[in-house]
C-alpha cells in the first residue's frame, strides 16, 4: 500500500518534569512509529489527504538504568492523536531524476497524565497530573525527493517541526514543545514479488526552549516493516522502531542529571494493510515498546488512511 506516512503528532509528555525523562518532558516532537510501511515510496503525482489516528498508553516510566523510575509514586499516560497531512507531488517536475513532493502536517492531540512525585515520608506524593488538547506543532517538508525503480524505491529530504502548538511552562502537560526541530530523513522500500520491506532512518536536531533554557539532545530513529501481499489489495506483517538519543539534554549550559538524560526504546508488533482501489488505502498496526530508558514504555495503536484528490 502506497502510504508514505509522515506525521508530527507532537506529544509533550511530562512537560514540567524534564529531569525525569529523556528529552525535555520525555516526549518527542516527531511521532515515532508512524513511518513504517512503504516509507520509501513517494505518492503518485497530484494532491493527497492522509489521516492518522494514534492511541498511546503507558503505565510505566523507566529511569536511566531501565528500571522503574523511582521518582514517581504513580504514573499513567494516555494520548489520542488525530493528524492531518496534505501532500502534493508535482506533476512533470524532476530533480536529479527524482519526483518532488511537498508536505504539511497538523496534529490534534488529546493528552491525559496521571503523575505523582514521590516525597520523603511522611509527606504525601505530589500530584502533577493533568489533561490537555488542541492543535500541536506543525510539520513542514517543503521539498522531498523520490526515486522509483522496478522493485526498489527511495525518499530523501529534510523536514522542520515548528513551535506552533500552545505551550505554558507552568503546566504539567502541553500540546506544543516550544522548540523547533530540523530532521534529515531517508526511506527505502523493496518490493520483490509479493513480499515487501521498508525502512526509514531519521536524524533530528532540536532547538532550545527559550522559556526553560532547555535543549533536548539529538535523536536517531529507525522505523521498519516487513510483510507479504497475501491477496489482491491485502498485506500483513510486522513493524516497529528503534529509537536512540545521540547527544545530551542540556539546561543552562550543563548536562541534565549529570549524565545527559539520554533516552532509548524499541517496539515491535503486527500490521494489516488494505488498498481496495488506486488512491485509497488503510493501515492498522500495533507497536509494543520494550527496553526503554529515561522515558515512558507503553503500546501504540495506529490507523492510517490515504485518499487521492
Can you tell me which residue has the cell 550543563?
Answer: 254
* Number of domains composing the chain: 1
pLDDT, residue 15, reads 34
Q: What confidence score (pLDDT) does residue 117 get? A: 86
Do the bridges between strand 139-148 and strand 126-127 make them parallel or antiparallel, or are there none, so unpaired?
unpaired
Q: How far does CA 301 lie from the centroid of its chain?
A: 12
Chain centroid to CA 88: 21
The verdict on residue 211 lying in a domain is yes
**b vs e for 133-169, b when ≥16 Cβ sit within 10 Å of the residue's Cβ?**
eeebbbbebeebbbbeeeeebbbbbebebbbbbbbee
Parallel, antiparallel, or unpaired: how do β-strands 139-148 and 98-117 relate? antiparallel
User: pLDDT tens digits for 238-258?
Assistant: 999 999 999 999 998 898 887
Name the residue range of residue 163's domain: 18-308
Position 22 scores a pLDDT of 57
Residue 127 lies in a domain: yes
Do 2 and 281 meet the contact criterion of CB atoms below 8 Å apart?
Answer: yes
Low-confidence stretches of the chain (pLDDT beneath 50)? 1-21
Query: In angstroms, how far is the first alpha carbon of the chain from the final one?
Result: 17
**What per-residue confidence (pLDDT) applies to 35?**
95
**Domain presence at residue 10:** no
pLDDT score recorded for residue 11: 36
Q: Please check whether residue 187 lies inside any domain of the structure.
A: yes
For the stretch 64-80, pLDDT in tens is 889 988 888 889 999 99
pTM: 0.90
pLDDT of the residue at 19: 35
Give the domain CATH number at 231: 2.40.128.130
- The answer to whether position 1 is within a domain reads no
Amino acid at each position: 500500500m502506497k502510504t508514505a506516512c509522515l506525521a508530527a503528532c507532537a506529544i509533550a509528555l511530562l512537560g514540567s518534569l524534564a529531569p525525569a525523562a529523556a528529552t525535555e518532558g520525555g516526549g518527542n516532537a516527531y511521532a515515532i512509529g508512524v513511518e513504517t510501511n512503504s516509507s520509501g515510496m513517494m505518492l503518485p503525482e497530484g494532491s493527497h489527504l492522509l489521516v492518522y489516528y494514534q492511541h498511546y498508553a503507558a503505565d510505566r516510566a523507566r529511569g536511566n538504568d531501565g528500571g522503574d523510575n523511582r521518582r514517581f509514586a504513580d504514573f499513567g499516560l494516555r494520548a489520542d492523536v488525530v493528524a492531518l497531512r496534505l501532500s502534493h507531488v508535482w506533476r512533470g517536475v524532476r530533480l536529479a531524476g527524482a519526483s518532488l513532493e511537498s508536505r504539511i502536517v497538523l496534529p490534534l492531540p488529546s493528552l491525559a497524565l496521571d503523575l505523582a512525585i514521590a516525597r520523603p515520608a511522611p509527606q504525601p506524593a505530589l500530584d502533577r497530573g493533568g489533561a490537555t488538547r488542541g492543535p500541536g506543532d506543525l510539520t513542514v517538508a517543503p521539498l522531498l525527493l523520490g526515486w522509483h525503480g522496478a522493485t526498489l524505491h527511495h525518499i530523501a529530504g529534510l523536514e522542520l517541526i515548528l513551535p506552533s502548538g500552545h505551550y505554558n511552562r507552568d503546566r504539567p502537560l502541553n500540546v506544543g514543545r516550544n522548540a523547533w526541530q530540523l530532521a534529515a530523513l531517508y526511506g527505502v522500500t523493496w518490493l520483490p514479488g509479493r513480499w515487501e520491506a521498508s525502512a526509514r532512518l531519521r536524524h533530528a536536531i532540536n532547538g532550545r526552549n527559550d522559556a526553560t533554557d532547555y535543549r533536548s539532545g539529538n535523536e536517531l530513529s529507525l522505523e521498519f516493516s516487513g510483510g507479504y501481499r497475501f491477496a489482491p489489495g491485502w498485506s500483513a506483517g510486522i513493524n516497529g522502531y528503534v529509537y536512540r538519543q545521540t547527544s545530551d539534554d542540556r539546561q543552562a549550559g550543563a548536562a541534565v542529571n549529570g549524565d545527559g538524560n539520554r533516552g532509548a526504546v524499541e517496539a515491535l508488533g503486527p500490521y494489516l494493510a488494505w488498498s481496495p482501489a488506486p488512491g485509497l488505502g488503510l493501515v492498522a498496526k500495533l507497536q509494543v515498546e520494550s527496553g526503554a530508558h529515561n522515558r515512558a514504555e507503553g503500546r501504540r495503536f495506529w490507523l492510517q488512511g490515504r485518499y487521492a484528490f
